[in-house]
Amino acid sequence: MHSTPIAAQIPKSANTQTTNVEIQKSLEMITKVYHLLATQFADPIDPQTTIYQGAIRGALASLDPFSVFLDADQFGGLKDQQRGVQQGFGAVLSIQSGQVLVLQALPETPFSRAGLGPGDRILRINGQRIANLNLQELLQVLQDAKKGKASLSVLRSGKVVAEDFELNPAELESSAVDRVFLLEPGIGYLHISGMEQATSQEIRSALESWQANKKLTGIILDLRDNPGGSLDAAVDIAGLFLPKGSLVVSLRGRSIPGQEYRVSSDPAFPVVPIVVVINERSASASEILAAALQEFDRAWILGQPSFGKGVAESVLPLSEGTALVLTTARHFTPKGRSVQRPLPDTALAGILKNEVHGVLSERGRSLSSSGGVHPDQIASSWQLSDWAVWLDQSTAYINFAQKCLERIGKVAQDFAADDRIMSDFLQYLTEADVRVPPLDWKSNQGYLKMRIEMEIFNLVYGMERGNRAEVEADPQVIIAREAITEMPQLLP
């Protein structure tokens, strides 16, 4: 959900165009219709389904894609997401029909305390044999296991006899800063998957640790696939880099005539060069951050045009633990741009009619005003054929990685997929009756090698090493690293 919750109370507006009389008439009509449904429909009806899932959701659907009704479970999940907590065991798993493989045990979690780690295979969960379950059944078993003590039968990596474990689920803190490492001496890379309450502090802690060791000469903020989240979090992150008092975003709506969000303290990192990477799935609060850094010429924006969500929602609690997420304002960049793209057949269809044009950055660079954040430099990610996309969604890579490790044993940190490995992979695909078009095999070689290396590193060293392998080979990140060194020329 691409929402930016900004309030918890129903807003009041003195100049609303809908009068109390009109509201009363509408309620009377709804009551009459509901009474007729309840008394004359062919079969008895469920009020929850008729009103909540029917009338309320139907009314909201006529507005925009972002205004939604949340039942009690969904509202509780949203609050947990904002706090960055979840219930679980602290494991990152590879899940296939009939197989659950541990890729990583997060520190200080039930899984890590039990000594479980990469390459361990879960054979049974609460007595149910994994090999007998299809994917949907397996996902349900894993979900049910989080509700109480779970009994696991696990075949440890390199062992032949399974061991039994009993684990209690715990409340786990999730981090939106999910990839953090130095790509090379001086260049710090952070992938931010969402905007949560603790995100700014997590970024600050990582940057300060690098700066303390005199290892910070450039920052790559990866906002790709970041759907947004807390508006306050985006403002706090911007405040790490922008001068005190800088306007980051303003909100305007019927119940919010004008609300500005500014940087409240001096920046911790005022001059370190920054490249922000975005794509078509960067939305909402992540667009607020990217646009502010772009307009102040504080960062070079690279990648693909962003999603284009320039509206903010209020989360309005209702009865019985439910809530309404309602679009209540548009947000605008420091220079007055709206990043909202037009949405045909919705209340936001004509969103660009009053758009400002001729917007310039602080140093006079011309900026686009056509919806979404447009990069200063267009850069493409992997260009995969349909066959490579299909293969990526299969289990071929991780299955081959397991077979490969059975043959070659543990690999070094600098392992690379050589010609022998690629030949073995081609043979594996052929024996598995996977069609391998020669042109696709040749044109996707770089990606195929990266995926094999990533899965092998996942199994041997854990996901941090696998993630690094993926990021280091990423075409957009490679261009971002080059841009860091050219920053004096790009943003003079």
Distance of CA 30 to the CA centre of its chain: 39
- 334 and 246 in contact (C-beta within 8 Å)? yes
Q: What contacts 370, CB < 8 A, 6 or more positions away?
A: 352, 355
pLDDT value for 309: 92
* CATH 2.30.42.10 boundaries in the chain: 85-173
Q: pLDDT tens for residues 197-238? A: 899 999 999 999 999 988 899 999 999 999 998 999 999 999
Domain 85-173 has CATH 2.30.42.10: yes
Query: How many other C-beta atoms can be found within 10 angstroms of the C-beta atom of residue 73?
Result: 10
Predicted model pTM? 0.83
Q: Report CA Rg, the chain.
A: 26
pLDDT value for 15: 47
Q: Which residues pair with 124 in a beta bridge?
A: 129, 153
Name the residue type at position 82. Q
- 317 and 5 in contact (C-beta within 8 Å)? no
Query: How many other C-beta atoms can be found within 10 angstroms of the C-beta atom of residue 312?
Result: 27
pLDDT value for 8: 37
* CATH 3.90.226.10 boundaries in the chain: 177-310+329-378
Distances (CA, A) of 91 to 109, 191, 489: 8, 20, 44
pLDDT value for 181: 94
Which three-class secondary structure state does DSSP give residue 346?
coil
The span from the CA of 81 to the CA of 76, in Å, is 9
Domain range 177-310+329-378, its CATH number among 3.30.70.2740, 3.90.226.10, 3.30.70.260, 3.90.1420.10? 3.90.226.10
Q: What contacts 225, CB < 8 A, 6 or more positions away?
A: 193, 279, 281, 282
| Long-range contacts, 488-492 (Cβ 8 Å, 24+) | 490/300, 490/376, 490/377, 491/297, 491/300, 491/363, 492/363
In the numeric block, the tokens 């370190």 are attached to 272
Q: pLDDT tens for residues 155-207? A: 987 788 999 999 998 888 778 999 999 998 899 999 999 999 899 999 999 99
Mean pLDDT by 10 residues, the chain (492 residues): 40 53 82 83 77 75 84 80 73 82 84 88 92 83 87 87 91 87 94 94 96 91 95 97 98 86 97 98 96 98 96 87 88 93 74 69 90 95 97 92 92 96 98 97 98 96 94 98 94 88
| Long-range contacts, 354-360 (Cβ 8 Å, 24+) | 359/295, 359/335, 360/335
Q: Mean pLDDT of all residues in the chain?
A: 88
Its sign, for the CA torsion 261, 264, 266, 268, is: negative
The span from the CA of 207 to the CA of 188, in Å, is 8
